[in-house]
Amino acid sequence: MLQVRSASVLLLAVMTSGCGREAAAPPAASAAVADLKRVAVAEAAWTPEITFDGTLEPVASVQLGFDVPGRIERLVVQRGASVGAGEAVATLDDAMARAQSAQAEAAVRGAEAQLAAGEAGFLRAQSLKAAGGLSEQQFKDAEAAVLAGRAGVEQARAAALLARTHLQNHTLRAPITGTLTNGPDNAGMMVGAGTPLFLLEDLSALQIRGSVSESDTWIREGMPVTVSAGSPGSDAKVEAKVTRVIPALDPATRRLPVEVRLEGAPPGFLAHGYARATIRASEPVTVFSVPRAAIVARPDFSVVVAREGGRYERVSVEVVEERGEERLVRGHLVMGDQVVLYPPSGLGGEG
């Protein structure tokens, strides 16, 4: 009996000793977190520079087609040729339209002659009525004939205008000055009204459209831009300017649309080719410098900041430049923040 009681006391002592060791683990973990190395963020000067790729586009591009159906009679301008605003590009067979226009003009002359006769009759009616030789009804009939004649002239003139417009629509004219970059090879084909047949592009200047991060609000219209040709083996570069910054983010990408214009269509740059635009700010801005060891790269770039009361917070940042072992970043940091070097996974948030 004494042996059983001794064994029980020994077992209780072992269990009590094990529980004591498990309770001491949290202080050890807290001590490990307290031993993390931290450094203060520093301010740094950084001149913003943004690069984006895009396609060179003409400053103006118009698809052309006839407003009436018909058969192409003549191609006045061939593909690759230049054409001025208002000049003819192509014509349709207009024999029937010319006949209809001539018929409408003849109808105008007939209506005008009829009106002249009615007005002469009305003048006679006035004289006869004054002499008592014309009844009231006859006078009203003469007056109505004049009114009808005037309406007939207006109607005939409107029909003639419609016929002339229809005839003019058989000639397709360029709305802008440019180069015909696409169109039919030959005349003779039947075309429908409104069918796009030609592509007219203003190649006197080119533009490249791209987008930048919503944090790049320093970009302004008129800023200088260096544009590099994207053609394989080409080292062509040209200076350009920012012509437009759309003051709203693209709903699909949440990025800021930017447009750059190249004046004079410089050599080495072709419409619809690829290009790269680099925009550099005229003055530096203030960012923060942190050690490379403080950057957490997954899932997004961030740093872990030590807060009061032993708390840690993960703060998202944008790495804008690498300088040796230092990284220049933008984000919701302030001077005096302490960032953790080599932060363990999960510290300050999701790791």
Of 1-5, 109-113, 210-214, the least confident: 1-5
Pairing of strands 49-64, 198-212: antiparallel
Token pair for 114: 């009829």
The answer, yes or no, to whether residue 16 has pLDDT greater than 70, is no
Residues ≥6 apart with Cβ < 8 Å to 201: 58, 60, 61, 62, 178, 179, 181, 271
Of 3-17, 36-50, 240-254, the least confident: 3-17
The per-residue pLDDT for 307 is 92
Token pair for 217: 């609000």
260-295 pLDDT, tens digit each: 999 887 888 999 999 999 999 888 989 999 999 999
The answer, yes or no, to whether residue 164 has pLDDT greater than 50, is yes
The per-residue pLDDT for 1 is 42
Alpha-carbon distance 338 to 131, whole Å? 115
Number of Cβ atoms within 10 Å of the Cβ of 206 = 27
Average of pLDDT values for 148-153? 95
Output the pTM of the full model.
0.69
- What the chain holds in terms of domains, given with CATH numbers, is 50-59+204-280 (2.40.30.170), 94-169 (1.10.287.470), 284-340 (2.40.420.20)
The per-residue b/e assignment along 168-196, b for 16 or more CB within 10 angstroms, e otherwise, is ebbbbbbeeebbbbebeeeeeeebeeeee
Which residues make beta-bridge pairs with 39?
339
The per-residue b/e assignment along 83-101, b for 16 or more CB within 10 angstroms, e otherwise, is beeeeebbbbbbeebeebb
47-97 pLDDT, tens digit each: 988 899 999 999 999 999 999 999 999 999 999 999 999 999 999 999 999
Q: Which of 246, 210, 250 is nearest to 230 (CA)?
A: 210
The per-residue pLDDT for 221 is 92
What is the Cα 340 distance to its own chain's centre?
A: 42
Token pair for 325: 């072992």
